Structure 1
Amino acid sequence: MSHYESVLPIWSAIQSRFFKTASQLPQEDLTLKIGPASIGYMLQHNAEVEYMFTEWYFRKPMPEHIKLATSGGPGSKKSDFSDLNALLQMLGDSNEHLRGAMCELPEEEWTVPVESPMGGPATTPLEAVGRLMYHTGIHAGQISLIQKNARVNQS
């Protein structure tokens, strides 16, 4: 079994759960936040990170129309992340972009360390997928926490 065939079912399970959660968010929850990052920001950020990792670790360039709005951190730019349909489109597109790059990556390159603009030790594409899974899980938890606590604080 190839690395791609091993990783894809796990990646798909995590992504489909995250996408389902995002698609069921009430529109008004996108602006909820604790601190500077809103739920909408986190959805945008998650998609952008998938695009960046695809470019860095899988060597598939980011589509030219993609403009990174969250790379400076929450509050660094005044952007509006309150259009659920646009955010869902971005999440779906970034997932398809990454899945395509994973499928195209030659088997022998999955375990070759790659330097990235993020710095730190070089990371293999296989490790990068693990980091993306972790990243998605963290933001799923943060979204749930914000939904619980921000509503209480706004009351």
Structure 2
Amino acid sequence: MTYSTVLPIWNAIRERFHKTANALPEQDLSLQLGTTSIGSLLHHTAEVEYMFAQWFFGKAMPEDGIPKPALTNKDELVEFLEASNERILQAMKELPEENWHKSMESPIGASTPLEAVGRLMYHTGIHAGQISLIQKNGNTVE
């Protein structure tokens, strides 16, 4: 029940974020405010999904580690986002129903897998807003 309940909400948020990433002009990936670039936000979003899949859903990291796409290559970043989404979706699907509400310790504190999905949704939304802000106010740093 939990996976089937969470899935439509997750998909709505994640598909919107993916659409945003796909629509970005590649030159915008290097726009930044302070030390944060749009490319780094896309990478970070996917990286966190890999970490949450491990921490809260027991999905082991890939044997060769988390991919490291170029932060200025849109195709690589979009592919990385697709892979991280597939990984977290698979991890959620494989989690037994009785474990969705069990608190787990992680490097960011205790949380249930259900709470972790909520945190991921919030995290994605925050970075979507930052991307929009950087597009409006960011600078290209050579």
1:65 positional shift: 2.6
Residue 80 of structure 1, CA deviation: 4.3
In structure 1, the partner of 2:31 is 32
Match of 1:8 in 2: 7
Aligned counterpart for 1:135 among listed residues 123, 134, 137: 123
SS at match of 2:83: helix
Look up the SS of the partner of 2:42 in the other structure: helix
Give the corresponding residue for 1:109.
Answer: 99
Any residues of structure 2 matched to 1:38-117 within 5 Å, and which? 38-67=37-66, 80-117=70-107
Flag structure 1 segments of 5+ consecutive residues without an equivalent. Answer: 70-78
> For the aligned residues, what is the CA RMSD?
1.7
| 1:64, distance to aligned residue in structure 2 (A) | 2.0
Question: Does the 8 A contact of 2:50 with 2:61 survive in 1?
Answer: yes
The TM-score with structure 1 as length reference comes to 0.86
Q: After the TM superposition, which parts of structure 1 deviate over 6 Å for at least 4 consecutive aligned residues?
A: none
Q: 5+ residue gaps in structure 2?
A: none
Distance 2:70 2:30 in 1: 9
How high is the sequence identity, in percent, across the aligned residues? 57
Q: Which amino acid aligns with 2:90?
A: G
Distance 2:11 2:113 in 1: 16
For residue 78 of structure 2, what is the amino acid of its counterpart?
L
Which range moved further: 57-66 or 135-144? 57-66
Measure how far apart 1:46 and its partner are: 0.2
In the other structure, the counterpart of 1:126 is 114
- Residue pair 2:70, 2:77 contacting (<8 A) in 1 also: no
Task: Determine the C-alpha separation between the residues in 2 that align with 1:30 and 1:141.
Answer: 15
Contact 2:56 2:106 in 1 (8 A): yes
Count of equivalent residues: 141
Q: Which amino acid in structure 2 is aligned with residue 94 of structure 1? A: S
State the TM-score, normalizing by the size of structure 2: 0.94
